[in-house]
């Protein structure tokens, strides 16, 4: 989609730019070089937006995620001696802990990037308000779900080859999604379970 960059310095900047992370937000070269070549003039409004985003990120991480972590750790360490309500409370707290932790550090990264004149897209869009798994992946870790869609699912043929090909492509894509998170059986199982639910 973009002309190859011949400058090793430009390539190094893209790889080493610390507010963009492999975990998220995953910033594509099109976005990074657009902002590198036509940098925002960082004005007072950008600083206010950036600081607000960073503070929200720290609040999500330090206030919500870390405090939920106390409940989660206690539950995981003592679930054998707990009743069903206590175990479910810990399990639900775990989901919220992951969200606040993940969304928190991506907010911090996006805010820091804004201070350097880079405008990265949001990585979360109220994912806890979803009603189905397809909607979930349009609101949770958006940079990841769109990356695997554009670079795995669509090149495999997407949903253009009939029912069998569509389901095959979903399973291959989400098998990769599991391996992306870690080369261990439970990550692979997680990726395949996402494929089952999406199917």
Residues tagged active-site: 181
Contact 124, 141 (CB under 8 A): yes
User: Residue with structure tokens 């919220």?
Assistant: 96
Preceding peptide of 25 cis, ω within 30°: yes
Quote the CA–CA distance of 107 and 21 in Å, as a whole number.
12
Those residues with Cβ within 8 angstroms of residue 12's Cβ, 6 or more apart along the chain or in another chain: none
Quote the CA–CA distance of 20 and 29 in Å, as a whole number.
11
Instruction: Spell out the alpha helix ranges (H) of 39-183.
Output: 44-58, 66-78, 84-115, 133-139, 142-148, 163-181
Phi-psi region of 126 (alpha: psi -120 to 50; beta: other; left: phi over 0): left
Contact 167, 192 (CB under 8 A): no
């Amino acid at each position: 989609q973009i002309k190859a960059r011949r400058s090793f310095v430009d390539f190094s900047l893209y790889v080493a730019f610390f507010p963009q992370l492999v975990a998220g937000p995953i910033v594509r070269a099109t976005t990074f070089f657009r902002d590198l070549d036509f940098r925002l003039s960082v004005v007072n409004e950008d600083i206010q937006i950036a600081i607000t985003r960073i503070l929200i990120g720290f609040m999500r991480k330090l206030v919500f995620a870390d405090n939920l972590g106390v409940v989660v750790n206690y539950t995981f360490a003592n679930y054998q001696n707990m009743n069903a309500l206590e175990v479910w409370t810990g399990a639900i707290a775990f989901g919220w802990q992951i969200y606040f932790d993940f969304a928190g550090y991506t907010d911090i990264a996006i805010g820091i990037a804004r201070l350097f004149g880079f405008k990265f897209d949001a990585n979360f869009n109220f994912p806890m308000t979803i009603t189905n798994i397809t909607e979930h992946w349009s609101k949770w870790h958006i940079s990841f779900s769109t990356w695997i869609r554009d670079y795995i699912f669509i090149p495999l043929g997407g949903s253009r080859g009939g029912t069998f090909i569509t389901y095959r492509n979903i399973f291959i894509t989400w098998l990769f999604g599991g391996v992306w998170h870690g080369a261990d059986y439970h990550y692979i199982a997680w990726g395949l379970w996402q494929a089952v639910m999406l199917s």
